[in-house]
Amino acid sequence: MQKETLIEIILATIGGLIFSVGMCMWLIPEWNMFAAGIVVSIIGFLILLAIIPVYRSHHPKKAHKSIDFGLLLPWIVGVVGSLIMGFGMSMIMVGTATTADMIIGLITGVVGLIICVLNYPIYAYIKGNK
């Protein structure tokens, strides 16, 4: 592993953690830390932005290629599946979930998980047809 790659990983980890803690401080009303959460989130975001010059200085510019739909479609399917799964899990965990909410949330979460699992077969099928 190159030194620059390690620096990018460390900046991403630290920046992501600080940003997420700041967002929790900002968005969870029980913590009563709205203003401090905004400041911490901005600091985390600035650390994440510091990755850009490090990356650009150590990685050469790549020529633009045509869009590879064999990679794009599984990404889209994965994002949609994870959003569906997250919606289902949030129905279960947020607030006081009734029995109906738990059943609907569990079914929705499992459907989202199945959609995420279908990524590799979709990718293999598209790559096999090219």
Region 94-110 average pLDDT: 87
Instruction: Give dist(CA 40, CA 51) in Å, integer.
Output: 18
Whether 56 shows a pLDDT value over 90: the answer reads no
Whether 54 shows a pLDDT value over 90: the answer reads no
Q: Give how far the C-alpha of residue 21 lies from the chain's centroid of Cα atoms, to the nearest Å.
A: 15
Determine contact, residues 36/25, Cβ cutoff 8 Å: yes
Identify the band that residue 130 occupies on the pLDDT scale cut at 50, 70 and 90: low
Domain chopping of the chain, boundaries: 3-58, 69-129
Region 3-13 average pLDDT: 85
Q: Give how far the C-alpha of residue 99 lies from the chain's centroid of Cα atoms, to the nearest Å.
A: 29
pTM of the model: 0.55
